[in-house]
Amino acid sequence: MLSQLRPALVALIALTIITGVLYPFAITLIAQIAFPSQANGSLIVQNGNVVGSALIGQSFDAPKYFWSRPSATGPFAYNAGASSGSNLGPTNPALLEAVQARAEALRAADPNNTAPIPVDLVTASGSGLDPHISVAAANYQIARVARARNLEVARVQQLVAQFTQGRTFGILGEPRVNVLQLNLALDALP
Amino acid sequence: MKPQSQIYQRALFDSFRKLDPRWMARNPVMFVVEIGSVLTTLLFIQALFGAGQENPAFIGAIALWLWFTVLFANFSEALAEGRGKAQADSLRAARQDTQAKKLAAPTRDAKISLTPSSDLRQGDVYLVEAGDVLPADGEVIAGVASVNESAVTGESAPVIREAGGDRSAVTGGTLILSDWLVVRVTANPGEGFLERMIAMVEGAKRQKTPNEIALNILLAAFTIIFLIVCITLLPFSIYAVNANGAGTPVTITVLVALLVCLIPTTIGGLLPAIGIAGMDRLIRRNVIALSGRAVEAAGDVDVLLLDKTGTITLGNRQAVEFIAVGNVQERELAQAAQLSSLADETPEGRSIVVLAKEKYNLRGRDGGAEGMTFIEFTAQTRMSGVDFNGTAIRKGAPDTMIQYIASSGNNVPTELNAAVERIAKNGGTPLVVAQDGKGLGVIHLKDIVKGGIKDRFAHLRKMGIKTVMITGDNPLTAAAIAAEAGVDDFLAQATPEAKLTLIRGYQTGGRLVAMTGDGTNDAPALAQADVAVAMNTGTQPAREAANMIDLDSNPTKLIEIVEIGKQLLMTRGALTTFSISNDVAKYFAIIPAAFATTYPALQALNILGLATPASAILSAVIFNALVIIALIPLALRGVPYRAVGAAQLLRDNLLIYGVGGLIAPFIGIKIIDMLLVALRLA
Amino acid sequence: MTFIGILQIVLFVVVLVALAKPLGAYMARVYQGEKTFLDVALKPVEKFLYRLFGTRETDEMDWKTYAVAVLLFSAAGVVFLYALQRVQGFLPLNPQAFGAVSPDSSFNTAASFVTNTNWQGYAGETTMSYLTQMLGMTVQNFVSAATGMAILIAFIRGLTRHNSKLLGNFWVDLTRSTLYILLPLAILVSLVNISQGAMQNLTAYQTANLLQPTTDANGAVVTTQTIAVGPAASQVAIKHLGTNGGGFFNANAAHPFESPTPLTDFVLILAESVIAAALCYTFGKMVGDTRQGWAILAAMIILLTTFMFVAYAAEANGNPAFAQFGIDQTASDVNPGGNMEGKEVRFGIARSALFATATTATSTGAVNSMHDSYMPLGGFVPLFMMQLGEVVLGGVGSGLYGMLVFVIIAVFIAGLMVGRTPEYLGKKIEPFEIKMAALLILIMPLTVLGMTAFAVVHPDGLKSIFNPGAHGFSEVLYAFTSQGNNNGSAFGGLGANTFFYNILGGIAMLISRFWLAVPTLALAGSLVKKKKVPESAGTLPTYSPLFIGWLIAVVLIVGALNFLPALALGPVVEQLMMK
């Protein structure tokens, strides 16, 4: 039975070289040549400064910004070095407290808005880095942002529409708005 | 036979005797129930002294019904054995020593010496007359008598036993009702059929068959799984109590009740009974299985080798047609044929006489005269006939007769040759008739295929069993009969070697072969076949090579044996399915009840609306016990087998035992619960 | 539930079934040593590897040798992966300078990846160096999957061959699985995903200046965001294809760098299901009756689809407790609605439920949403999919050989019911086969229930529970169900990176993989010796709709009977208490 020992060791070494060295390096090489932006994290660079990634959300709580979804990463929200969800169970009182607090914060920032709050704005995302909010969540915040920035609501609506992505092929996924890109565009307004 | 009540009495007694743990341990499922019964009984005693986890009445009721569960299972086994045992008892009663009228020579008139039956040896000859009990197994060599064989077969209608043919075997212990028989002993004392039968039904040394072993393993696995399910429920429930801050952990009594309800007690309890009852069904059809494996293998048979004569066709050929040639009238031929056959006592000969009478209303002697001299068939002349008034009528096989006609200086009519050929081609046997050396025509003798046999083979085909006819006939004749009888294949001009080769061929192809046989030259093939049924009238070597013996010496019985084998497996499968399906309802009854104090919300699962947690658990346990009793008749009788394809059988049985097994306990448990409430027992 | 949501589930099923035949036929060619279009490139490599191993294609093994080869290869993998984690601090390709992983976590992770479980007590981006991810995780993602496929192929040979002892050559089956099947598909999936934005580089973590500074838990101001990067896409592709599931990042496929768009999500779900589904066709092809393969696939697809809709319905209903806060959980074209806790907006409810069901039906265990935050009934689905024994598609290879064990049990009971000694594909099912099959269905509930029971009364087990009440019980049950079935997904709240859970879980994973693989091979070894019984009208057809239904019933009933009480105390009672 020890006759299988040599192939066992040799196979592990050989397959490690093929699948653990050649394969990832080859993919990296192709990726860096063919899709350099995507493969490096879809980073957004302004004036030579990395201001974030189009795929990674950031935390906002100023009224002039669209707020991202709650994030459960530690020790601070949207820590892209340690992705994580809240893992709170549906019947966990802590979840209900958190949702209540988030809803109250949203209402406090915009007391006139009595519309129901879209659920994604009060629930933490799976990754804690969700770059998107739903279109409903963006719509919910338009009036507040417009007021804080002294902009016409229509102008903000137009921006939101610009950063709204539909379903892939009209079927896959959900329509969504990229919060960081939207907020950067807001800041870029004259 | 003992009266039914006595069988029940004994089974009842045996149910308790079988509580012996050494006996119970052979059946892991029921052994677990017995341990559970002991455990709950101890808990009951503990509760009586006021230290119990629950109300002592509840624990006591659970313990009582668990004991019932064990007893019911034991009862089913005892009952199944009881039938055989009762039979064994009456057999043993028949097995008393009698004084045999031993004959000095194999004739009725020979000198008689009274000898104790135990001194009779194989080859001895004895005489029995009306009122005598046969002292030993044997073969009738002279006489005809009606015999009451109920001691062996349980069938009280008398049967005829006579010399020659397939009714020549007699069994020791049976009773001569009328006339007399001269019998040659075929079995030494202690080796007779009775002894073997007693040994078989009594010896609880019944070997488990492969399928039974496999099923037992599966059931044991389920039992272990449910053991783990129930054991782990205790820590789970402790956690639940702590996490929810309410109620008390589930009690041992409830866990034991749940365990017993979940493990496959229905099939586990009835499994031995099913096996015994299967053997019993064979015995009642006058077949002794010399191994349990063979019974089970019978259900798997793919190929049946059947002897043509006696099985597919009536034993004898019959005349069906007279074909006159030249300017001979058919009536003339019929008359000649009849005359030549008057002294021919073979069935073929008689059938010629009958046919002539039916067709032309000819009456034997009418056309003849006094002083007829009958010429018997001899191996030298190879023809038979009659001489009278200077006329010589001869009949015989075509080749012999054509030679005879030619040597008489007459021409052989071409029509005659044509008729002979046509008959042979259709599977018949031609007999040529000549008068004074001149060919008159041909008698067409035909094999008569038994009524209904074709349907039977069609059924077998549906069951996936291939039938092969074995015959000594030439291929042409064989093919014609095979086509008429509807068998799938045939082996013509069969020699013992050819049979053996055929069987081996099928077996190499992965098929299971069954065959019947009686002659010594069948022995090698019988030994090779997977299911080999020897006729009781058969020779000793044939009987030794076989794994079953048919007392009725009825070759068609192979088909019944196959069905019994299938029934045996089907009953096990059906009850297994039923048993496991039952568990779903039991979960719905017990789970909400078991955690009622911790999680009242689980009451939503109490879809049956059972009154209280105690009544719910008790109802499930009672149902579980009663269902064993309810299914005993089915276990003993077996699930009916119908010759339809496997797919349809599965559909039907799944519907009855699978879906039925899901639904039945919901209804049963609810009814029991309502009764318990009505009787204020819960 | 919305029309679009339902459509996404249907679309997935349709594409999956459509791909089963072409890929399955290709794999049959690969395993039977027939010509394929990749021969030009791969034959020389394959031949070279056999020379290196010191084996020949024709050196076939009996079941014992095959099992020894599997065990030795896996043991070498465990040792190597353990050592790698312990010494990664001294090795290159470690830009974040991660130190040694703790001994118990290293053991758990080594056992986890070699057994194709890919349970993760650790968080990838804060623990493992790039070198460890590549040489350790990625390699085991390939070879543990290939091992499962090899065992399956050996098992199929047990059914197709007769009067023999030989089941094939493990090294050949392993090599072919890796080179011809997993590697090309992994390259394809990697590149598609990278084009969508999946991460693939070897640089150090990036730092971004936040648009709006935020504060951390201690109130300190945070102005920058460290963005974890690395060679993720190449590992993610194989983690799905090989039904492994161990994420490069902690958030797994919920992380935007692993699965940036709904399209990558679609590709990943397909990737984790397609080989397992296609292997059913391969099986049919190899046994010479594709109906047999379709029948098994049909049973799997019916179970899978049904439970996808159960999960979707449960999650789409949302959390009734939120109603009091004026939260809008109604799905529409602008609002994903439903229970969005732990879910990503780009995926929404339907894709999350689809993913959760697929990842647990297959033994992948990757997640695109956090199962711990699912509604009780929604969380019940992934839990139950695993408790069925990972046979609904299941792991590549292991899922089908697991399902074939259920087929044997289904055939045994059904065969009895039609009055014949049961046979499957002409092989009689006799006591030895039932003994092995019984062992195979016995071990899983034994491990899962036994360990869960131990953990919920042991202080070290209780310490790690995150959510209170019945949900906490579900967390522990889920952890051992996942590890005891080589799935790897988790109710992530459970603090599993402790000595207690690392060791117990590691043992559960090793038992689940190898205690099952060895009897499976023994079963194959027994089947291969038998002669083949020809089919007749008395043979139970194992491809009819009736049999498919029966097989589903057996799988469900065995699963339900084993776990109903435990489920009643977990998700079931939690759901009932919500009302």
Q: Say whether both A125 and A184 belong to one domain.
A: yes
- The chains in contact with chain C, meaning 3 or more Cβ pairs closer than 8 Å, are A, B
Q: What does the alpha-carbon distance between residue B652 and residue B631 come to, in Å, rounded to a whole number? A: 18
Distance CA(A78)–CA(C435), nearest Å, equals 53
Q: Does C163 touch chain A (CB under 8 A)?
A: no
C327 touches chain A (CB under 8 A): yes
Confidence of residue B110 (pLDDT cuts 50, 70, 90): confident
Could you give the CA distance from residue B248 to residue B72 in angstroms, rounded to a whole number?
33
Tell me what percent of the residues of chain B surpass a pLDDT of 90.
31
Where is pLDDT greater, at C187 or B175? C187
Q: Which domain holds residue A54?
A: 42-188
* Nearest residue of chain B to residue C565 (CA atoms): B591
Q: Is residue C515 part of a domain?
A: yes
- A-interface mutation test, from C340, C351, C368, C371, most A Cβ less than 10 A away: C340
Contacts of C139 in chain A (CB under 8 A): 15-16, 19-20
pLDDT tens digits along B200-221 = 666 544 667 788 899 999 999 9
- Chain B residues lying within 8 Å of C434, measured CB to CB: 214-215, 217-218
User: Which of the residues B237, B599, B644, B648 would you substitute to probe the C interface, choosing the one with the greatest number of C C-beta atoms within 10 Å?
Assistant: B599
Answer yes or no: is pLDDT of B2 > 60: no
Same domain? For A18 and A61 the reply is no
Q: Alpha-carbon Rg of chain C, whole angstroms?
A: 23
Domain count for chain C: 1
The Cα–Cα gap between B634 and B636 comes to: 5
Residues of chain C with C-beta less than 8 angstroms from the C-beta of B240: 470, 473, 569, 573
pLDDT in tens, B555-578: 678 888 888 888 989 999 999 999
Q: Do C414 and B573 touch (CB under 8 A)?
A: yes
Task: Tell me the average pLDDT across B527-535.
Answer: 87
Q: A159 and A148, same structural domain? A: yes
What is the DSSP pairing of strand B513-517 with strand B531-535? parallel
Nearest by Cα to C187 from B217, A119, A30, B490: A30
Nearest CA in chain C to A170: C4
The pLDDT of residue B445 is 86
| Chains C and B, touching by 3 or more CB pairs within 8 angstroms | yes
Contacts of C373 in chain A (CB under 8 A): 85-90, 95
DSSP single-letter state for residue C168: B
Catalytic residues of B: 307
Give, in order, the Cα–Cα distances in Å from A172 to each of C42, C190, C241, C332, C350. 36, 19, 20, 14, 9
Search chain C and give the residue with CA nearest A45.
Answer: C208
Range of the domain at C52: 3-210+223-578
Picking from B236, B259, B260, the residue whose alpha carbon sits closest to that of residue B247 is B236
Cα–Cα distance measured from residue B268 to residue B27, given in angstroms and rounded to the nearest whole number = 7
Q: Are residues A73 and A5 in the same domain?
A: no
**Selection from C519, C522, C405 nearest residue C63 by Cα:** C522
Residue that is written with structure tokens 């030989």 in the block? C166
Spatial separation of the C-alpha atoms in residues B30 and B70, rounded to whole Å: 6
Angstroms from B549 CA to nearest CA on chain C: 22
Q: Scanning every residue of chain C, which has its alpha carbon at the shortest distance from the alpha carbon of A44? A: C208
Chain A residues in contact with C344 by the CB 8 A cut-off are: 125-127, 130, 132
Q: Is C439 an 8 Å CB contact of chain B?
A: yes
In chain C, which residue's Cα lies nearest the Cα of B563?
C419
Taking an 8 Å cut-off on Cβ atoms, the answer to whether C211 and A58 are in contact is yes
Residues of A with Cβ-Cβ distance to C183 under 8 angstroms: 18-19, 23
Could you tell me if residue C167 is inside a domain? yes
pLDDT at A110 over 50: yes
Which one-letter amino acid corresponds to residue C465? I
C418/B650 CB distance under 8 A? yes
How many contacts does A have with C, using Cβ atoms within 8 A? 416
The Cα A183–Cα B218 span in angstroms is 65
Q: How far is A43 from chain C (nearest CA, A)?
A: 9
Q: How far, in Å, CA of B157 to CA of C501, rounded?
A: 77
Nearest of C569, C436, A120, C319 to residue B238 by alpha carbon: C569
Confidence category of residue B631, pLDDT binned at 50, 70, 90:
very high
Q: Which of residues 388-427 of C touch A (CB under 8 A)?
A: none
Task: Give the angle subtended at the CA of C331 by the CAs of C327 and C332, to the nearest 5°.
Answer: 115
Rounded to an integer, the average pLDDT of B412-430 is 84
Q: For residues B451 and B422, is the Cβ–Cβ distance under 8 A?
A: no
Q: Which of A87, A102, A130, A132 would best serve as a mutation to test chain C binding (most C beta carbons within 10 A)?
A: A87
Looking at the structure, tell me whether residues A149 and A125 fall in a common domain: yes
Chain C CA closest to residue B243: C469
Confirm or reject contact between C15 and chain A (CB < 8 A): no
Q: What is the largest CA-CA distance in chain C?
A: 79
The number of residues in chain B equals 682
**Quick check: C222 and A76 CB within 8 A?**
yes
Count CA within 13 A, CB hemisphere, residue A189. 17
Residue C217 lies in a domain: no
- Residue C474 counted as domain residue: yes
- Kindly report the pTM of this predicted structure: 0.88
> Partners of B232 in the beta sheet?
none
Secondary structure of residue B108 in the 3-state scheme: coil
Mutate to test the interface with A, among C373, C374, C471 (most CBs of A within 10 A): C373
Q: Give bridge partners of residue B419 from the DSSP assignment.
A: none
Give contacts of A 150-179 with C, CB under 8 A: 167-168, 171-176
Contact C573, B602 (CB under 8 A): yes
Listing DSSP states for C479-496 in one string gives HHHHHHTT-----TTS--
Same domain, A113 and A154: yes
Same domain for A9 and A59? no
Q: From chain B, pick out residues whose CB is under 8 angstroms from the CB of C441.
A: 221, 225
Is A138 in the same domain as A58? yes
Side chain identity at residue C186, one-letter code: A
A99 touches C: beta carbon within 8 Å: yes
A126 and A180 together in one domain: yes
- Do the domain assignments include residue C215? no
Residues of C in contact with B233 (CB under 8 A): 565-566
Give the span between the Cα atoms of B464 and C536, in whole angstroms.
5
Mutation target for A interface from C65, C211, C377: give the one with most A CBs within 10 A.
C211
Dist. CA B218–CA C545, nearest whole Å: 25
Which residues of A are less than 8 Å from C121 in CB distance?
none
Shared domain for A32 and A114, answered yes or no, is: no
- pLDDT for C425 equals 93
Query: What is d(CA C89, CA B391) in angstroms, rounded to the nearest whole number?
Result: 124
* One domain for residues A94 and A10: no
C151 within some domain: yes
With contacts defined as CB-CB under 8 Å, which chain A residues touch C179?
A: 18
Burial A7-36 (b: 16+ CB within 10 A, else e): bbebbbebbbebbbeebbeebbebbeeebe
Q: Does residue A178 share a domain with residue A119? A: yes
Confidence bin at B1 (pLDDT 50/70/90): very low
- Which residues, including other chains, have CB under 8 Å from residue B319's CB and lie 6 or more apart? B337, B348, B351, B352, B354, B355, B431, B443, B444, B445, B446
Distances A8 to B417, C61, C113, C115, C143 between C-alpha atoms, Å: 82, 14, 17, 16, 12
Residue B365 identity: R
pLDDT for the residue C331: 95
* Upper half-sphere CA count for residue C237 (Cβ side, 13 Å): 27
| CB pair distance less than 8 Å for C418 and B584 | no
Instruction: Inspect the interface and report whether the beta carbons of C209 and A51 lie closer than 8 Å.
Output: yes
> Residue C218 domain-assigned?
no
Q: In angstroms, rounded to a whole number, what is the distance separating the alpha carbons of residues A177 and A181?
A: 9
Minimum CA–CA partner of A175 in chain C? C334
**Candidates B218, B464, B654; nearest CB to C538:** B464
Per residue of chain C (579 residues), what is the pLDDT tens digit?
Answer: 999 999 999 999 999 999 999 999 999 999 999 999 999 999 999 999 999 999 999 999 999 999 999 999 999 999 999 999 999 999 999 999 999 999 999 999 999 999 999 999 998 899 999 999 999 999 999 999 999 999 999 999 999 999 999 999 999 999 999 999 999 999 999 999 999 999 999 999 999 999 999 999 899 999 999 999 999 999 999 999 999 999 999 999 999 999 999 999 999 999 999 999 999 999 999 999 999 999 999 999 999 999 999 999 999 999 999 999 999 999 999 999 999 999 999 999 999 999 999 999 999 999 999 999 999 999 999 999 999 999 999 999 999 999 999 999 999 999 999 888 889 999 999 999 999 999 999 999 999 999 999 999 999 999 999 999 999 999 999 999 999 999 999 999 999 999 999 999 999 999 999 989 999 999 999 999 998 888 877 788 899 999 999 999 999 988 888 999 999 999 999 999 986
What's the number of domains chain A is made of? 2
Q: Given an 8 Å threshold on Cβ–Cβ distance, is C143 in contact with A127?
A: no
Cβ–Cβ gap C203/A40 under 8 Å: yes
Of C438, C536, C553, nearest to B217 by CB-CB distance is C438
For B219-261, the pLDDT digits (tens) are: 999 999 999 999 999 999 999 999 988 899 999 999 999 999 9
Work out the mean pLDDT of chain A and round it to a whole number: 95
Bond from prior residue into B496 cis (ω within 30 degrees of 0): no
